[in-house]
Chains A and B, each alone.
Chain A
Amino acid sequence: MYAVNYHKPASIEDAVAAIGGADEAKILAGGQTLLPTMKQHLAAPSDVVDIRGIGGMTDIAVRGDTVTIGAAATHAAVAGSNEVGSICPALAALAAGIGDPAVRHMGTIGGSIANNDPAADYPAGLLGLGATIVTNQREIAADDFFTGMFSTALEDGEIITAVSVSKPDRAGYAKFRNPASRYAMVGVFVAKTGNGVRVAVTGAGEDGVFRHAGLEAALAGNWSPDAVDAVEMSADGLMSDIHASADYRAHLIKVMAKRAVAAAG
């Protein structure tokens, strides 16, 4: 790792100031992607600004039918949260299946979605649930937040503070792990919400997480695994690598969609 200046501000204002005062700052939350990247000299920020000490950043609270999860809440905290479980057990289950125990006790929900790894789980969960991403500047709908592989709607210096999720009627997640990395090679999150059926796919798209209109239409008409069978699945726009061709990923999207619907009940 190259030499780097480390900041741990206690407030959003101090964090913004630290970011603004640096040549090239990176926000550090759980560090599960950033730190390995820095160790391999693939990232070389001048400063890292650790946001875990900011008040409220790890809070999880329910108001009405909505749970708000602090950006620095770890995957383990989300997985074990009664509040998350009361609103969306599928999201808690998704968190419980990220990485391994060490990763889950360090990695955070805000860090995961800010990085928007095309094989990460949370982007599928939040896009599938139509979540709202709260920053120090505004609120962003998940549909507008995830803008492509490793890219988001976040502006320079904008800090995610929380994520809020409203209770779906039903939701489920199924993923097929990459045998080596155990990231999602295909992950499908399905949700039946007051605003209709949403299906989000991670691990497969060349542009990162995406909603699948064909699956959404089929499941809106008939919420059952069988409804998935008739959906035309194109390999266009899907990733192809040494682990899985685009065709195999297209096939797995259907299989995982069926399993996600079955898990959702």
Chain B
Amino acid sequence: MSEGIGAAVKRKEDKRFITGRGKYTDDIRMENQAYGAFVRSPHAHAEIKGIDTSAAEAMDGVIAVLNGKQLKDDAIGDIITGWAIHSKDGNPMNVGAWNPMATARVRHVGEPVAIVIAESQAQARLAAEAVEVDYEELPAVAAATTALEDGAPLLHDNVPGNLIFDWEIGDEAAADAGLAGASHVTELDIVNNRLAPNAIEPRSAIAVYNDIDDHYTLYTTSQNPHVARLVLSAFYNVAPEHKLRVIAPDVGGGFGSKIYIYPEEITCLWASMKTGRSVKWTSDRSEAFMTDAHARDHVTKARMGFDADGKIVGLKVNTVANIGAYASLFATATPTYLYGTLLSGQYNIANVYCDVKAVHTNTVPVDAYRGAGRPEATYVMERLMETAAREMGMDPAELRRRNFITEFPHQTPVIMTYDAGDFHALLEKGQAAADVAGFAARKSEAASRGKLRGIGYSCYIEACGIAPSKAVGSLGAGVGLWESAEVRVNPVGTIEILTGSHAHGQGHETTFAQVVSDRFGLPMDNITIVHGDTDKVQMGMGTYGSRSGAVGMNAIVKAMDKVEAKVKKIAAHTLEASEDDIVIEDGEVKVAGTDKKMAWHEVGLAAYTAHNLPDGMEPGLKEGAFYDPTNFTFPSGTYICEVEVDPETGVVEIVQFTAADDFGTVINPMIVEGQVHGGVTQGIGQALLENVVYDEDGQLITGSYMDYCMPRADDVPSYVLEHSTTVAPSNPLGVKGCGEAGAIGSPPAVINAITDAIGNNNLTMPATPQKVWAAIQEVGLPQAAE
């Protein structure tokens, strides 16, 4: 059917988005709404000696000025990290306490100290400037490697040496032995640059306290409103769950940054209760740079050993991960179980070892961002492979081929069991689509124009659809990672799907409806997706880790299984046939091999009139399901980037980018294509443009778009996309997830292409014109270009 699985249906939600009629949190206005503005630390590290709010309180329109001590006195809890990691010595991790508003000490620029509630946003902001905070500055440290040094400023009394944990995975002795016996060892020092997430819609919250019922409602920019409610209730003591409703309406992008329950949202809820007013706060872009969780920020030393045939015989990786001033919700999982577990890549490696030191610094907390750990792992693996091939004088594709895993399931030495994939097929498809055979001619043509042309590969695998609750629980997760769904068939046969997944740009209203349309043969127009409101959907774990397809949609499938079973019972009873003979197709419920049938809506009506149901059957047609997957899913792909470098300036132009992906079953190829475009563009942003820079004192240098460089349309090429599919065996739909792959796979392909063009492997991200020019100066111009 044209609207079913595999159809490139246009997105239902785009009509409202592209006509400006989406409804975002800041578009919502409550009666008696007041505005919050935060007083934020200008210092990276300082003691708070006193807060004088008298001038601010006297200003026009000011309703209240509230501080962190008052919030603590009301028993609002500290902000938690959701994943307990143990160091290799068996000790639990040490994380510093995180007050929603600082009480005694500030530890990063932008940390909230107080909130002003006023009648207008302008009044609130003016008064916030008038709050006088007496700070005593302390030495600060921004780089994680520096924070580990003896004598470095210490952030938290309970975190000696700023070291949160020293974690390991794999067998160190085996990896060392493998490296010792290698005929070639490639060694790289790798920096995975720090990023700021920059969703187009900044964070926003409106907190509404109703003193009659002692009930709270929070409208907020969240990727997981149910998780927000759970955490706000169970850990932050805002209100018990039945007295707290969280609504995440249209949300303009998240990329991970809107998973977390930040100080501002907690404070608005509490402030609403304190003032008896609805409290709205909307971040501006400057606040976003200082408060939205940053990403990546790894410093890594990696060594990969090969035998004489180019087979990998050992890999050892030592990483220092910057966690920032406080450990955010997924901050401890990202550089461990979402990173070290992917350090086998697409390759059959017996011996892998990885050590990760996680460190507090005087910077914004770092947490999961599109890819979360997996881009860092892929960057390590694929820079190593390409560099090793060059060092050994081998074709980089051939080196990969010799090491590809070809049999599944495959148990890696770093926990993961890959269940499906065909890496040779992906490489072949990618090479054909990228016309690798014609590269030499393109390179020499570019040289005739004075340009250096280079080509680079990245063969990524990632683990997403996170994931089995039992597995993540055993690794330290504080929650289960199932998903829920409810299928409500109305008496007229139309369907509402309630899902715990949350859409903030992904197109769930379309793809989820396609899955239902496909199953029952109903037009998509008869199907509505309901999400983002804890009063409507009972429970859900939300959208991140490319899990809406692999987990969320499969929950819908499970619920549809139950609906289908009941529909068949009703139809068999009505049509006087055996249940086993009932088939549902094209919106009709038929007795196979006969002309006996009921229209879909007639079954719906029968369920609700209940005049003639089988004995003992409850009326109604509504089923729910919780789906807990049996494994992660493992999307994989080959990305091939071609660049031209202007040797005079160091400017890199990406002239061709080919992505050959295996996402398992594809529900809507157009939407999947869009996800790849967006993901690859973010990866190119990391590779060429984006970088959060702090100075040595912890001041944020890249606090606006004047200095933080986002990719623009003219920075990226028109992409060449290919697919090669192996169905995911772990879920009924066979889907793997596509949201993060582009951002995971692309950065090493870009850097590998540039380093190929300039003949110097010594290049860090972002490869700015200055860095590329300097790298060219370091080795001199390649012969072909002169």
Q: Which residue of A lies closest to B709 (CB)?
A: A180
Chain A stretch 97-147: residues in CB contact (< 8 A) with chain B: none
Report yes or no: B707 in contact with A242, Cβ–Cβ below 8 A: yes
Chain B stretch 688-717: residues in CB contact (< 8 A) with chain A: 689, 691, 693, 701-702, 705-709
Residues of A with C-beta under 8 A to B774: 248
- Given known A-B contacts A180-B707, A243-B770, A245-B770, A40 and B649 have beta carbons under 8 A apart: no
Report yes or no: B770 in contact with A244, Cβ–Cβ below 8 A: yes
Task: State which of A2, A180, A252 has its C-beta within 8 Å of the C-beta of B649.
Answer: A252
Cα A251 to Cα B706 with chains together (Å): 23
Cα A252 to Cα B649 with chains together (Å): 7
Chain B stretch 369-418: residues in CB contact (< 8 A) with chain A: none
Residues of A with C-beta under 8 A to B706: 180-181
In this assembly, does A64 line the interface, its C-beta being within 8 Å of a C-beta of chain B? no
Cα A181 to Cα B129 with chains together (Å): 28
Tell me the smallest distance from the CB of A176 to a CB of chain B, in Å.
6
Tell me the smallest distance from the CB of A210 to a CB of chain B, in Å.
21
- Given known A-B contacts A176-B649, A179-B768, A251 and B709 have beta carbons under 8 A apart: no
- Given known A-B contacts A2-B126, A41-B129, A179 and B773 have beta carbons under 8 A apart: no
Contact with B along A221-265 (1 / 0, CB 8 A): 000000000000000000000111100100110010000000000
Report yes or no: B708 in contact with A180, Cβ–Cβ below 8 A: yes
Name the residue in A41, A181, A245 with the highest tally of chain B Cβ atoms < 10 Å from its Cβ: A181
Q: Which residue of A lies closest to B715 (CB)?
A: A179
Contact with A along B104-130 (1 / 0, CB 8 A): 000000000000000000100010010
Report yes or no: A243 in contact with B768, Cβ–Cβ below 8 A: yes
Range of interface residues on A (Cβ < 8 Å): 10 to 19
Name the residue in A2, A180, A243, A251 with the highest tally of chain B Cβ atoms < 10 Å from its Cβ: A180
In this assembly, does B538 line the interface, its C-beta being within 8 Å of a C-beta of chain A? no
Chain A stretch 51-95: residues in CB contact (< 8 A) with chain B: none
Cα A242 to Cα B708 with chains together (Å): 10
Tell me the smallest distance from the CB of A47 to a CB of chain B, in Å.
18
- Given known A-B contacts A41-B129, A180-B705, A251 and B768 have beta carbons under 8 A apart: no
Chain A stretch 161-187: residues in CB contact (< 8 A) with chain B: 176, 179-181
Contact with A along B588-602 (1 / 0, CB 8 A): 000000000000000
Tell me the smallest distance from the CB of B142 to a CB of chain A, in Å.
14
Residues of A with C-beta under 8 A to B649: 176, 252, 255
Residues of A with C-beta under 8 A to B769: 176, 179
Contact with A along B316-345 (1 / 0, CB 8 A): 000000000000000000000000000000
Residues of A with C-beta under 8 A to B693: 242
Report yes or no: A181 in contact with B286, Cβ–Cβ below 8 A: no
Report yes or no: A255 in contact with B705, Cβ–Cβ below 8 A: no
Residues of B with C-beta under 8 A to A40: 286
In this assembly, does B211 line the interface, its C-beta being within 8 Å of a C-beta of chain A? no
Residues of B with C-beta under 8 A to A181: 705-707
Report yes or no: B709 in contact with A255, Cβ–Cβ below 8 A: no
In this assembly, does B648 line the interface, its C-beta being within 8 Å of a C-beta of chain A? yes
Tell me the smallest distance from the CB of B127 to a CB of chain A, in Å.
13
Tell me the smallest distance from the CB of A119 to a CB of chain B, in Å.
10
Chain B stretch 731-786: residues in CB contact (< 8 A) with chain A: 768-770, 773-774
Chain B stretch 115-150: residues in CB contact (< 8 A) with chain A: 122, 126, 129
Residues of B with C-beta under 8 A to A176: 649, 769
Residues of A with C-beta under 8 A to B773: 248, 251
Cα A245 to Cα B706 with chains together (Å): 17
Cα A255 to Cα B650 with chains together (Å): 11
Residues of A with C-beta under 8 A to B702: 180, 242
Residues of B with C-beta under 8 A to A243: 707, 768, 770
Cα A115 to Cα B648 with chains together (Å): 31
Cα A216 to Cα B586 with chains together (Å): 79
Report yes or no: A242 in contact with B701, Cβ–Cβ below 8 A: yes
Cα A40 to Cα B649 with chains together (Å): 34
Task: State which of B122, B648, B689 has its C-beta within 8 Å of the C-beta of A179.
Answer: B689
Residues of B with C-beta under 8 A to A41: 129
Cα A1 to Cα B649 with chains together (Å): 40
Cα A251 to Cα B648 with chains together (Å): 9
Tell me the smallest distance from the CB of A186 to a CB of chain B, in Å.
10
Cα A25 to Cα B707 with chains together (Å): 29
Cα A255 to Cα B126 with chains together (Å): 47
Cα A40 to Cα B286 with chains together (Å): 9
Q: Which residue of B lies closest to A40 (CB)?
A: B286
Residues of B with C-beta under 8 A to A251: 773
Q: Which residue of B lies closest to A244 (CB)?
A: B770
Residues of A with C-beta under 8 A to B708: 180
Q: Which residue of B lies closest to A2 (CB)?
A: B126
Tell me the smallest distance from the CB of B598 to a CB of chain A, in Å.
59
Tell me the smallest distance from the CB of B249 to a CB of chain A, in Å.
27
Name the residue in A179, A243, A252 with the highest tally of chain B Cβ atoms < 10 Å from its Cβ: A179
Report yes or no: A255 in contact with B648, Cβ–Cβ below 8 A: yes
Residues of B with C-beta under 8 A to A179: 689, 709, 768-769
Q: Which residue of A lies closest to B122 (CB)?
A: A1
Residues of B with C-beta under 8 A to A242: 691, 693, 701-702, 707
Tell me the smallest distance from the CB of A98 to a CB of chain B, in Å.
15
Chain B stretch 643-663: residues in CB contact (< 8 A) with chain A: 648-649
Q: Which residue of B lies closest to A181 (CB)?
A: B706
Contact with A along B286-319 (1 / 0, CB 8 A): 1000000000000000000000000000000000
Q: Which residue of B lies closest to A259 (CB)?
A: B648
Cα A251 to Cα B772 with chains together (Å): 13
Cα A131 to Cα B707 with chains together (Å): 32
Residues of A with C-beta under 8 A to B691: 242
Contact with A along B674-694 (1 / 0, CB 8 A): 000000000000000101010
Chain A stretch 1-52: residues in CB contact (< 8 A) with chain B: 1-2, 40-41
Tell me the smallest distance from the CB of B229 to a CB of chain A, in Å.
35
Cα A1 to Cα B768 with chains together (Å): 35
Residues of A with C-beta under 8 A to B707: 180-181, 242-243
Tell me the smallest distance from the CB of A246 to a CB of chain B, in Å.
11
Tell me the smallest distance from the CB of B387 to a CB of chain A, in Å.
26
Tell me the smallest distance from the CB of A254 to a CB of chain B, in Å.
9
Q: Which residue of A lies closest to B129 (CB)?
A: A41
**27 interchain pairs, CB-CB under 8 A:** A1-B122, A2-B126, A40-B286, A176-B769, A179-B709, A179-B768, A179-B769, A180-B689, A180-B705, A180-B706, A180-B707, A180-B708, A180-B709, A181-B707, A242-B693, A242-B702, A242-B707, A243-B768, A243-B770, A244-B770, A245-B770, A248-B770, A248-B773, A248-B774, A251-B773, A255-B648, A255-B649
4 tightest A-B CB contacts, nearest first:
A180-B709, A181-B706, A248-B770, A179-B709
Point out residues on A near B: beta carbons under 8 Å: 1-2, 40-41, 176, 179-181, 242-245, 248, 251-252, 255
15 other A-B residue contacts (CB within 8 Å) besides A176-B769, A242-B707? A1-B122, A2-B126, A40-B286, A176-B649, A179-B689, A179-B709, A179-B769, A180-B689, A180-B702, A180-B707, A181-B705, A181-B706, A181-B707, A248-B770, A251-B773
